[in-house]
Amino acid sequence: MQLKQLEIFVQVARLRSFSKAAEALYLTQPTVSAHMSALEEELGTRLVVRSTKQLHLTPPGRVLARYAGEILGLCQRAEQEVRTAACSIAGTLSIAASTVPSQYLLPQVLPSLRQRYPQVFFQVRQGDSGQVAQWMSENGAELGIVGAPVQRTGLLCVPFLTEQLVIITPNTAEYRALNGRMTPEVLRCAPFLVREPGSGTRKQGEQYLRGIGLDPRELTLTAQLDSTESILQGVKNGLGIAIVSSYAARDQAAAGQILLFPDSNPLLTREFYLLYHRSRALSPAASMLLQELPYFFQNQP
């Protein structure tokens, strides 16, 4: 099988039409038909069935469509990586990131990137989402990573990763007795730890609380802490409960130091966003990170 044949077949399967596939690929319809016939002859089976009204994939055609898409995607990925490797990716890449991306996401991906791009020095500055946008506007960073959408003139804000926030509590008999099910009544009376007002995690958590009928202003606040790690340590040591990133909480939960109370409520679902300048050319290192970061997390277990 030739890649050109697979490319044509994928377009035929997607568009359910030889003529539309030919138009999409800037080929003539006889050329598309010839490639399809050659592919079917090589495989010894019919891949498509054409009627006067519609084109259908045969069972072997559906199998090939799945593999052909993966093959072409892998070829595209290989081409991108070769082109990236051919560029001079070196120098300092300045990144402004909010707490969870800087403390829990970037440390996962930077080691592998450092191995592949040893001439890049990653300079990460941590602040809340508002500070990240401000630093970028003041040319203090080339890229930003935040946990809440940012609207600021001159910046593009693009989602790249979805996560679910979780409620965490101390690992005590009181909370173990809930059997993994948190209720609004417990939340209303429990001591709460919160992040600073500009935190994307805090904003998302307050939206969730309002959505289940709780006014965040009426909760019993024990402390306001300026980092997720401080929140985790506070919960671990019995200072209160909190709503935090699932990425941040997973290690302590696995170690039995805190309890997780997941909730499928969509108000606890949030995106992480990449920020970059709308009209400024990206450095090769920044272009590399924009490409690699989403791919890395899409392929995590």
Within its chain, how far is the Cα of 295 from the centroid? 8
301 pLDDT higher than 70: no
Instruction: Pick the most confident of 58-62, 133-137, 166-170, 177-181.
Output: 166-170
Which pLDDT value is given to residue 232? 96
Q: Any idea what DSSP says for residue 201?
A: H
Q: Distances in Å between the alpha carbon of 179 and those of 128, 144, 195, 263?
A: 34, 39, 26, 13
149 pLDDT higher than 90: no
DSSP string across 44-59:
TS--EEE-SS-EEE-H
Which pLDDT value is given to residue 84? 60
Domains and CATH numbers, the chain: 3-86 (1.10.10.10), 91-161+271-298 (3.40.190.10), 164-270 (3.40.190.10)
Neighbours of 52 (CB within 10 A): 4
Please tell me the distance from the alpha carbon of residue 152 to that of residue 277, in angstroms, as a whole number. 10
Which pLDDT value is given to residue 293? 87
Q: Which residue has the higher pLDDT, 299 or 282?
A: 282
148 pLDDT higher than 90: no
Which pLDDT value is given to residue 224? 95
pLDDT, tens digit (0-9, with 9 covering 90-100), for 20-33: 888 888 899 999 99
Which pLDDT value is given to residue 91? 87
pLDDT, tens digit (0-9, with 9 covering 90-100), for 74-107: 887 777 667 665 556 888 999 999 888 999 999 9
1 pLDDT higher than 90: no
Average per-residue pLDDT for the chain: 89
pLDDT, tens digit (0-9, with 9 covering 90-100), for 153-193: 889 999 999 999 999 999 999 999 999 899 999 999 999 99
Please tell me the distance from the alpha carbon of residue 49 to that of residue 41, in angstroms, as a whole number. 14
pTM greater than 0.85: no
pLDDT, tens digit (0-9, with 9 covering 90-100), for 223-280: 999 889 999 999 999 999 999 999 999 999 999 999 999 998 999 998 999 999 888 8
